[in-house]
Chain A
Amino acid sequence: SQTIHQWPATLVQPVGSPLSLECTVEGTSNPNLYWYRQAAGRGLQLLFYSVGIGQISSEVPQNLSASRPQDRQFILSSKKLLLSDSGFYLCAWSTLPYGYTFGSGTRLTVV
């Protein structure tokens, strides 16, 4: 069966520090992978998506970047965190028309 792993679950980082969030999927090959951010009380904002190794599309300009070094690995990074980067980050993979499967999320607090 397909599963998706996302870690860490919670993270508190100081402003200006680097960030690395990792997401891996199992039980599928060549998935489309996505990073979403959910700010407090708001909906889901698509940050990045990837249709293959090394292929990254950015939806919004921001302080974050994404990489896909392996077929089933998707990493969200930042060189210097801002306060506005705080939020709940969700990784997902999809094979339409079956919808998305989401990871359990990472709660990032930048202090």
Chain B
Amino acid sequence: AQSVTQPDIHITVSEGASLELRCNYSYGATPYLFWYVQSPGQGLQLLLKYFSGDTLVQGIKGFEAEFKRSQSSFNLRKPSVHWSDAAEYFCAVGAGNNDMRFGAGTRLTVKP
């Protein structure tokens, strides 16, 4: 079965600085990969997804992620973080059986 690891539990960045959140997956075939964001007390919102094709995918709110098969990674990036980006971020991997597994999440704090 597929699995996801988010190595960083908590990251703090200054507003305006660049951001990279790490995600590593384990799956025998080409995975479906996702990043979600969760604001406190809210459900999860899809930021972006990768199925196939271009390995650099653009999402909402200025986020992008790059699929690197050789590293089994799907890291999320943003060139300039805004205070409103403070939230919990979840990476997820899906298989063809409609089963999706989530990482433990990375909490992002943005310093003024």
Whether the Cβ atoms of B43 and A104 lie closer than 8 Å is yes
Whether the Cβ atoms of A98 and B41 lie closer than 8 Å is no
User: Which A residues lie within 8 Å of B94 (CB)?
Assistant: 94, 96-97, 99
Per-position 1/0 for A94-111, Cβ under 8 A of B: 111111111111010000
User: Which A residues lie within 8 Å of B43 (CB)?
Assistant: 6, 90, 102-105
Q: How far is the CA of A29 from the CA of B86 in the complex (A)?
A: 35
Whether the Cβ atoms of B100 and A99 lie closer than 8 Å is yes
Whether the Cβ atoms of B104 and A42 lie closer than 8 Å is yes
User: Which A residues lie within 8 Å of B112 (CB)?
Assistant: none
- For chains A and B in complex, what number of residue pairs have CB atoms within 8 angstroms? 59
Whether the Cβ atoms of B42 and A105 lie closer than 8 Å is yes
Identify which of B41, B95, B96 gathers the most chain A CB atoms within 10 Å of its CB: B41
**Interface residue A19 (Cβ < 8 Å from any Cβ of B):** no
Whether the Cβ atoms of B41 and A100 lie closer than 8 Å is no
Within the complex, the shortest CB–CB distance from A86 to chain B, in Å, comes to: 14
Whether the Cβ atoms of B32 and A97 lie closer than 8 Å is yes
Secondary structure at the A interface, as helix, strand, loop or mixed, is strand
Asked whether A96 and B96 contact (CB < 8 A) given A104-B43, A107-B41, the answer is yes
Q: Which of B69-108 contact A (CB under 8 A)?
A: 90, 92, 94-96, 98-105
Asked whether A44 and B102 contact (CB < 8 A) given A98-B49, A99-B94, the answer is yes
Whether the Cβ atoms of A104 and B49 lie closer than 8 Å is no
**Interface residue A73 (Cβ < 8 Å from any Cβ of B):** no
Asked whether A99 and B49 contact (CB < 8 A) given A43-B105, A104-B43, A107-B41, the answer is yes
**Interface residue A67 (Cβ < 8 Å from any Cβ of B):** no
Q: How far is the CA of A44 from the CA of B90 in the complex (A)?
A: 9
**Interface residue B46 (Cβ < 8 Å from any Cβ of A):** yes
A-B contacts, 8 of them at CB < 8 A, read: A42-B105, A44-B105, A51-B98, A94-B98, A97-B51, A100-B44, A105-B41, A105-B42
10 closest pairs, A vs B, by CB?
A43-B104, A102-B43, A44-B102, A102-B44, A97-B32, A104-B43, A97-B51, A32-B98, A105-B43, A43-B105
